[in-house]
Amino acid sequence: MTESTLVIGLVLPDVMGTYGDGGNALVLRQRARLRGIDAEVLPITLSDPVPASCDIYTLGGAEDNAQRLATRHMTRYPGLQEAAAKGVPVLAICAAIQVFGHWYETSEGERVDGISLFDLTTTPQEKRSIGEVEGVPLIEGLTQPLTGFENHRGGSTLGPDAAPLQRVVRGTGNGAGVAVDGVVQGSVLGTYMHGPALARNPELADHLISRATGRPLEPLDLPDVELLRRERLRK
C-alpha cells in the first residue's frame, strides 16, 4: 500500500461513470476502513495524468464518445497499464472492458484501437442486452453467485489469453449465446455488471482489497448488504 494508505484510483469518473459505477470505489474504501485499513479514493479526471502509484483502480461504463476520450487519455498517460503489469488489481465495468481490449467497434461501425490490457475484441450485437444478470464465479476465491444489471450493445469475444469472470445463468453477459460474463487477465478483472457491481457483490470487492493488501481479510457482518443481495438474486 502507498505510505500505509490504500489508494483507490477512480479513473475518469467525468466520462466513464454510467449507472453510478463510481460507487465501486466507495465500496472498496468503506470495506477497507471497516477492517481498520486506512483508505482513500483518488479521482483521476481528463485533466490529470493517470498515475502508476495507486493500489487499486476502478473504471465505469460510458457511451461511444466517452470511450474514445478515455482510450486517448489512457494511451497518452499509461500509468494504469504500468501498474497492471506489476500486478496491481484493476476493475473494469462495461465500456471499460471494451476500451481495455485490442479494439472495439462503435454503433456507427467505426473500429477504435483499445489499450490491449485484455485479449478481446468488441462488436455491436444485433440486440441490446438490458436487465438483470446472474452467474457463477469462475475464479479462485469467489464462491457466492454474482449479480448485477447489464445495459450494453457491444458483445465481447475473448481471445486465448483471457478467461471469463463468471458463467451466466441469467442474462446475456459478454454476448448472446456465449453464456459467460466478464474477463480476467492477470490482475485485471472486467464485467458487464453495473449496480454498482461491488455493492451487490461484496466478495468480489474483498477479493480486490485482499489482492491489493497482500493479506486475507476477516469477514464483515453487514446484514443490510446481505439483504440487498437476497433481494437482487430473487428478481
Residues 6+ apart with CB under 8 A from 202: 27, 31, 220, 222, 225, 229
pLDDT value of residue 231 = 82
Question: Model pTM?
Answer: 0.95
Domain contains 207? yes
CA–CA distance, 199 with 154 (Å, rounded to integer): 24
Residue 178 is part of a domain; what is its CATH number?
A: 3.40.50.880
- Give the structural domain span for 178: 6-233
Domain contains 1? no
pLDDT value of residue 13 = 96
End-to-end C-alpha distance for the chain, whole angstroms = 38
> Binding-site residues, please?
128
The Cα-based distances of 89 to 152, 168, 202, 223 in angstroms read 24, 23, 16, 27
Catalytic-role residue among 94, 102, 152, 207: 94
Q: Is 102 a catalytic residue?
A: no
Catalytic-role residue among 54, 73, 152, 194: 194
C-alpha cell of 57?
483502480
pLDDT value of residue 139 = 94
Quick one: how many helices (H) and strands (E) in the chain? 7, 12
Number of domains observed in the structure of the chain: 1
- What are the tens digits of pLDDT across the range 42-78? 999 999 999 999 999 999 999 989 999 999 999 999 9
Strand partners of residue 152: 129
Q: Is 94 a catalytic residue?
A: yes
Q: What percent of the chain has pLDDT over 70?
A: 98
Domain contains 197? yes
pLDDT at residue 229 is higher than 90: no
Residues 6+ apart with CB under 8 A from 210: 141, 216, 217
What are the backbone angles phi and psi of residue 23, rounded to the nearest 5°? -60, -20
Average pLDDT, the chain: 94
pLDDT value of residue 230 = 81
pLDDT value of residue 2 = 55
Domain contains 109? yes
pLDDT band at 3 (very low <50, low <70, confident <90, very high): low
pLDDT value of residue 200 = 93
pLDDT at residue 97 is higher than 80: yes
pLDDT value of residue 225 = 83
Domain contains 32? yes
pLDDT band at 232 (very low <50, low <70, confident <90, very high): confident
153-161: average pLDDT: 97
pLDDT at residue 1 is higher than 70: no
> Binding-site residues for substrate, please?
128
Could you give the count of Cα atoms lying within 13 Å of 164 in the half-sphere of its Cβ? 18
pLDDT at residue 142 is higher than 60: yes
The Cα-based distances of 75 to 9, 13, 107, 111 in angstroms read 17, 17, 22, 16
C-alpha cell of 117?
490490457
